[in-house]
Amino acid sequence: MQQSWQQWNRRARALMWVLTLAGVLAALPLGAARWQMEDTAEKVEFVFDYRDLVQVASYQAHPKAFIEEQLGNMKEAGVTSMAVFETSLEEMVWSDRLAVYNSAAAAELADKPAPLDENYTYLLFTGAEEEAALRPMIEQTFEAWEIAVRPWSFGGRSGLVLETPVENAMLKPMNPDPIALQSIHAAGFSIVPRLSDRIPYNQQMVDKQLAEYQQLGVRRILFDGDAVKGYADNAEKKSLESFAALLNKYDIGVSAIEAPIAKGQKGMNSLAYLTHYNLVRLYSLSDADASAMSPEAIADRFHLAAKDRNIRMFYLNTAPMRSSAKSAVVNSLDNLYDALSGEGEAIKKLNDRGFEIGQAEQFDYETPPTWHKALKALLCLGAIALITLLVNAFIPASIIPVFVLGLIGSAGLHVLSKSTLEQGLALGASISAPTLAIIWAIGRVKAHTTGNLRPVGGASEGKGIGGLNWFFPGLSAGRRLTMALSIFVMTSVMSLLGIPYVFGLLNNMTYSLVLEQFRGVSLLHLAPIALSALYVFLFTSGTLIGNIRKLLQMQITVLWVVVAAVLGVAGMYYLSRTGNAGEASTFELLMRNVLETTFGVRPRTKEFMLSHPLFLFGLFLALRYRAAWVFFIVGSIGQLSMVDTFAHIHTPLHISLIRILLGLVLGAIIGLVMIGVWQVLEGVWRKWLQRFVPAIRQNLK
């Protein structure tokens, strides 16, 4: 009975590998479709915050002349668009559209005593043009807030009285300044309105507003605040659907500011779906970075964002700053101009990469054809099979029940959440492939050192600590080198099997636009390392129970505590360097710049400078020394990192592919250098032993 079950398990294992390879093949058409999509939007747009410009101008001797001068400088530098916020009374004061007074100041202006028990807002328009453009908007806004509005005049100038305190009136948002919109349009800039959800949603008003925007050539809207327009009223008015219908009607898309999912603007996912993903990702350079960073650093940041993260809009900020060194109020405008077209050459770098400066466009999106569903079903089967193979590596003869349970669980999860199923299987496959690859590499080394493929006398030098063979003679250095290289290549190929499952199962526009993210990446960073270590210590010799018993019976010494502490610190550092939050050293930044300049794409540092070289070096040593088997654990970092590279769905496929291939080649070269240095040192050591040890022994006698 047991023998029959083992035969069935062997057949099932072969079937699992067939399903795994079938899943890999099924993912290729999905990857080709994504590759094609990623080549469809090659225009990059630089957007400047017009409110910041107005605020900086308010500190100049001649604000209007300053704005006109800077608009010309921006156009020359390469800025193509202006972002215009919903305006406020405060911004109108900055722009010299009107003057605002409280009740006491208005009375003093008219040389009258301050009225008792009154704290209203009085405003005077600068001229007839300002009154004609702004008065209807102001009246409509404050009446919507149920604040009484009445006419007022002084000194031949018309104005209004708003029966609310100045502090309250200043906070009320209004539609973007129509005068500013016309002047920006006349200056030849595209307009990117920034709308908020602070104004109650009104379909008729929004329809009129978007129609005016279309006449001004507006192609894209950016939102201000933590929600898209219409989000607050959506439960009552279905305003998101209504707003999306108007955006589609006027062929206006939206922009999403690059931010973690948890900090993204509410309602963006729904609006993106309803507008057929007419969405462009935007990177915002803060006013602090615009001032503190060098032009070259700013340019590099823009270049990498467009190339590596599918960013197509760059938002530029500035702010007035007091400088005691210059005894003046300064700003970062000149630094930004240098970054774009001066020393930084951001625009030149982008043009050299094939990007064109203009109005950003969405990636081509079409509803996936029905045959994509069949391919994804095959991908799901392959992922379950790959996960089953990993479980079987630790629990022999478990393939059939594990696969059946996987099918049942996946079917149930598909009913509850298709997205969770796809992410779960992608995570499982991405963990399984590099772990299985390391296990296979361990098996090959074992076969050539203690197994049936070892050379005659290869493990015959007696038992060492723990009753194990710790030294394996019999293989020449040349033979060990060729074997190490072949195992390194095959291990990497096996790890790469996990990549199609990531980009195939997560083949959705929501991941490319970072509206949704691949969760569980932290587990991917740890699980293969932990599983590889578990296999090295518990499954490479003896029995599982016996090895566990030995570990439990080991005496804990100060050395073990120190080793555990060092490993803990190394693990914390490793986790801190995963993702985008880690900080690189000065040397690493220099290396990155050299690699970026040389190859156009930089490989991941932990792959080509750490894991890949040590893994190849470890394979060479492991064919002679058992202690070197710990290098398999280090090797798992590079193997999982290759798969993790493709977990960054917003990075174009060809960039990720070049990155891992460069990492493998450079890592192998460094590993070969390490092997060469080791051979030299080992030769010197042996000669020293042959020369001095006999003399030392003779003296001791």
pLDDT tens digit string along 63-112?
989 999 999 999 999 999 999 999 999 989 988 899 999 999 999 998 89
* pLDDT higher than 90, residue 542: no
Find all residues with CB under 8 Å of 7, minimum gap 6, and list them: none
Rounded distance between C-alpha atoms, residue 346 and residue 300, angstroms: 7
* Mean pLDDT calculated for residue range 453-458: 63
Q: Is 505 in contact with 373 (CB distance < 8 Å)?
A: no
* Mean pLDDT calculated for residue range 145-166: 94
Q: Among 34-43, 62-71, 561-570, which stretch is predicted with the lowest mean pLDDT?
A: 561-570
Which residues on neighbouring strands pair with residue 280, listed in sequence order? 255
- What are residue 347's phi and psi, to 5 degrees? -65, -40
pTM: 0.86
Q: Does domain 43-86+180-357 have CATH number 3.20.20?
A: yes
Three-state SS sequence of 285-317: ECHHHHHHCCHHHHHHHHHHHHHHCCCCEEEEC
Q: Is 23 in contact with 388 (CB distance < 8 Å)?
A: no
Rounded distance between C-alpha atoms, residue 317 and residue 257, angstroms: 14
Rounded distance between C-alpha atoms, residue 513 and residue 451, angstroms: 50
What mean pLDDT is reported for the chain? 89
* pLDDT higher than 70, residue 682: yes
Find all residues with CB under 8 Å of 348, minimum gap 6, and list them: 341
Percentage of the chain with pLDDT > 90? 69
Rounded distance between C-alpha atoms, residue 676 and residue 620, angstroms: 11
Question: How confident is the model at residue 695, as a pLDDT?
Answer: 61
* Neighbour-count burial of 339, counting CB atoms closer than 10 A to its CB (0-12 exposed, 13-18 middle, 19+ buried): buried
* Mean pLDDT calculated for residue range 293-316: 94
Band of residue 462 on the pLDDT scale cut at 50, 70, 90: very low
* pLDDT higher than 80, residue 598: no
Q: Would you state the structure tokens that stand for residue 348, as one six-digit string?
A: 């030149």
Rounded distance between C-alpha atoms, residue 534 and residue 92, angstroms: 67
Rounded distance between C-alpha atoms, residue 543 and residue 551, angstroms: 12
Which amino acid would we find at residue 156? Answer: G
Question: How confident is the model at residue 48, as a pLDDT?
Answer: 98
* pLDDT higher than 70, residue 583: no
Q: Is 88 in contact with 171 (CB distance < 8 Å)?
A: yes
Which residues on neighbouring strands pair with residue 121, listed in sequence order? 102, 162
Band of residue 571 on the pLDDT scale cut at 50, 70, 90: low
Question: How confident is the model at residue 118, as a pLDDT?
Answer: 93
Q: Is 23 in contact with 378 (CB distance < 8 Å)?
A: yes
Q: Would you state the structure tokens that stand for residue 466, as one six-digit string?
A: 């723990």
Q: Where is pLDDT greater, at 200 or 493?
A: 493
* pLDDT higher than 60, residue 240: yes
Band of residue 485 on the pLDDT scale cut at 50, 70, 90: very high
Band of residue 596 on the pLDDT scale cut at 50, 70, 90: confident
Rounded distance between C-alpha atoms, residue 539 and residue 526, angstroms: 19
Q: Where is pLDDT greater, at 35 or 578?
A: 35
- What are residue 49's phi and psi, to 5 degrees? -80, 105
Q: Is 503 in contact with 513 (CB distance < 8 Å)?
A: no
Q: Is 124 in contact with 99 (CB distance < 8 Å)?
A: yes
Question: How confident is the model at residue 305, as a pLDDT?
Answer: 94
Find all residues with CB under 8 Å of 2, minimum gap 6, and list them: none
* pLDDT higher than 90, residue 505: yes
Question: How confident is the model at residue 324, as a pLDDT?
Answer: 84
Query: Which residue's entry shows tokens 């022994």?
Result: 697
Rounded distance between C-alpha atoms, residue 41 and residue 96, angstroms: 40
How crowded is residue 650: how many other Cβ atoms within 10 Å of its Cβ?
16
Alpha helix positions (H), 450-508: 477-496, 498-505
Rounded distance between C-alpha atoms, residue 331 and residue 327, angstroms: 13
Q: Would you state the structure tokens that stand for residue 1, as one six-digit string?
A: 């009975």
- In angstroms, the first-to-last Cα distance of the chain is 65
Band of residue 573 on the pLDDT scale cut at 50, 70, 90: low
Which residues on neighbouring strands pair with residue 195, listed in sequence order? 223
Q: Is 423 in contact with 597 (CB distance < 8 Å)?
A: no
Alpha-carbon radius of gyration of the chain: 33
Rounded distance between C-alpha atoms, residue 387 and residue 528, angstroms: 12
How crowded is residue 36: how many other Cβ atoms within 10 Å of its Cβ?
10
Which amino acid would we find at residue 363? Answer: F
* Neighbour-count burial of 192, counting CB atoms closer than 10 A to its CB (0-12 exposed, 13-18 middle, 19+ buried): buried
Q: Among 148-162, 181-195, 327-341, 585-599, which stretch is predicted with the lowest mean pLDDT?
A: 585-599
* pLDDT higher than 70, residue 581: no
State whether residue 603 is helix, strand or coil. Answer: coil
Q: Where in the chain is the domain with CATH 3.20.20?
A: 43-86+180-357
Percentage of the chain with pLDDT > 70? 89
* Mean pLDDT calculated for residue range 669-697: 83
* pLDDT higher than 90, residue 541: no
Question: How confident is the model at residue 582, as a pLDDT?
Answer: 46
- Dihedral, CA atoms, 669, 523, 431, 599, nearest 10 degrees? -30
Nearest to 433 by CA among 28, 21, 31, 32: 21
Q: Would you state the structure tokens that stand for residue 544, as one six-digit string?
A: 């599982």
Angle at 523 between CA 518 and CA 528, to 5 degrees: 120
Q: Among 3-7, 41-45, 376-380, 510-514, which stretch is predicted with the lowest mean pLDDT?
A: 3-7
Rounded distance between C-alpha atoms, residue 179 and residue 19, angstroms: 64
Q: Would you state the structure tokens that stand for residue 366, as one six-digit string?
A: 């079409």
Find all residues with CB under 8 Å of 214, minimum gap 6, and list them: 250, 251, 252
* pLDDT higher than 90, residue 169: yes
* pLDDT higher than 90, residue 597: no
Question: How confident is the model at residue 460, as a pLDDT?
Answer: 46
Q: What is the DSSP letter of 608?
A: I
Query: Which residue's entry shows tokens 């195939």?
Result: 504
Q: Is 294 in contact with 277 (CB distance < 8 Å)?
A: no
Nearest to 497 by CA among 612, 640, 658: 640
Q: How many helices (H) and strands (E) does the chain have?
A: 30, 14
Which amino acid would we find at residue 162? Answer: L
Band of residue 545 on the pLDDT scale cut at 50, 70, 90: confident
